[in-house]
A and B are shown apart, each in its own frame.
Chain A
């Protein structure tokens, strides 16, 4: 019984992690920007949707679409205003995006978005029994959304012109430039896509819990952990990383106690980086990351 529970919720947990990390991983894979504003954008989408739905009384679907669009626009804007002047200086990119992310989060905190009333409505209410374990529809939906997005991403980056152009950019900027791919345009697009994905993740995952500022910081760490674990540019690596981490977290939480759960992904970041920085499934780029 307990084991079935762990297996089912491990699956859900893995899907949540994959969805959380997807935007971050996409941006990094396509333009090499580690978007540390990921958590900020994630929560921004959640709060925007909440405000639109509860203060302006828009239907949830409309608020969700608007939130995703807003996040994507902001992503592109972050690139244009903040990242472009420091493009290529990895450290400055990280510092600048991190500052943007923290600024977004703390601004919401300052505006008083800290109480328990901020929770999003699930798309569908109710639950279903799977092998004696009650799972709510929202969690099943998350698995579905995760699968669809992962497949879509794979198709987008491998089979479409734009996707291929973006990947070319990530692999060799100069060659890509010489075949007529515009670097800034591509990078802005990759940030917008990443931010949009963060928003989709927020809107599907947040109804499980409550929207609170600290989730923004956790989301960033989770995204880092999953991406680092699975390797930085592959969709397969992302899914595999999410599964390993998802089950590891559910197992420790059940058998060791929930206070260990957060130590797990932090330890994953540290261990993987120390042992195999290109990730368990990443292609080797050894010289670039270490000597």
Chain B
């Protein structure tokens, strides 16, 4: 009996190990002298996983056309990725950095795309990247401090670029939306609920300032720790305080429940902000229609096809073709668009520079001017892609509203709009 038990114990543990080992199989095929693109990010997160898939899609497209020519020689692209786990609360930044370090040391990437998920990790990995001199295009982390750092020590950090939306641009989009809502429905009271992380808090306080400057009353401003899933105290206060608009700013999966709780508590306010789980096309089904009326921001277009930008429609189609209908519908609202474009920016820069040498490559990336999935891509002096409202002149994000029977209708900016913000059914009567 005892022996049997002992055996059972070891079989159980052996099984765990074997399952793990099996999963470890399958490595990337190596072709002749590929250009290696490193993707160190939080692969367990929705944004991270989607971004990696977008990068792989772009790489496949480029390789299908023969690759990238460096001094006349056609070289294929290869992707190596590593999971930094940084989206999980409690993972030390040091651990995420160790993962990046490992990727750089073992795979020797020629460039890094997507990069840090958390702003804290982005900032602390800048020194690491500067030390190794690797062109780095980040597409998820949003802190404006990134640009500040680039500006402060340009020579050191000139290898780093950002293609996704940053927090100030987000505030800009949100405040314009609020301006529209205020005018259209005569709303004057807002309640801000944010996730307690760098970019969301920054966005929240930026918006709070704008609201106060423009004659709004901010009924309340609450920050929830990452992972929290009971928002009833804020919703209760919002209802009691008569808030007409609730601005949620979250990128954690738990935040989707905010909508359901608001409906259960019958809070009579328009939801307008960013809730990452409510951004993908599948959200209507996931939340059983309770997203109706939500005005949500899509940080960068691409995950949602916008007719005004043909490339975004094309991207959405090929992504769905490669990964299936379900994956296409789940595409997250932040990351995939710029990640896909980043591969093309890099490829373009390599061809223009004719070398993989970091300084020349960085200069070529800086000079990028192309039409991408997210609109027109041009970098500012502090290495941030410029976002504005006209896709012919700059990259754009899009504000959309969920409307029955489950469609995302772009409502802002005007150049991309296909509808107008309406009050949700629960506010009409």
Contact = CB atoms under 8 A, between A and B. Distances in A.
Interface string A1-24: 110011001001100000000000
A209 B287 CA distance: 12
A180 interface: no
A177 to B, nearest CB: 20
Interface residues of A, number: 43
Interface stretch (A153-161, A165-173, A189-197, A254-262): A254-262
B236 interface: yes
B240 A5 contact: yes
Given A2-B240, A81-B8, A253 B233 contact: yes
Interface string B1-23: 00001001100100010000000
Interface string A204-228: 0000111011110110000000000
Interface stretch (A25-33, A111-119, A277-285): A111-119
Contacts of B224: 258-259
Nearest to A262: B225
Interface string B37-67: 0000000111000000000000000000000
A38 B232 CA distance: 25
Contacts of B229: 208-210, 212, 215
A103 B234 CA distance: 34
A136 B235 CA distance: 13
Interface stretch (B135-143, B205-213, B249-257): B249-257
Pick from A82, A213, A214, A261 the residue with the most CB of B within 10 Å: A214
Interface in B309-361: 330
A5 B236 contact: yes
A115 B253 contact: yes
Interface in A114-159: 114-117, 119, 127, 129, 133-136, 138
Contacts of B253: 114-116, 210, 212
B264 A134 contact: yes
A218 B227 contact: yes
Interface in A254-279: 254, 257-259, 261-262
13 contacts: A1-B240, A13-B230, A109-B44, A116-B277, A117-B282, A117-B286, A127-B265, A133-B236, A210-B257, A212-B227, A218-B227, A258-B233, A258-B234
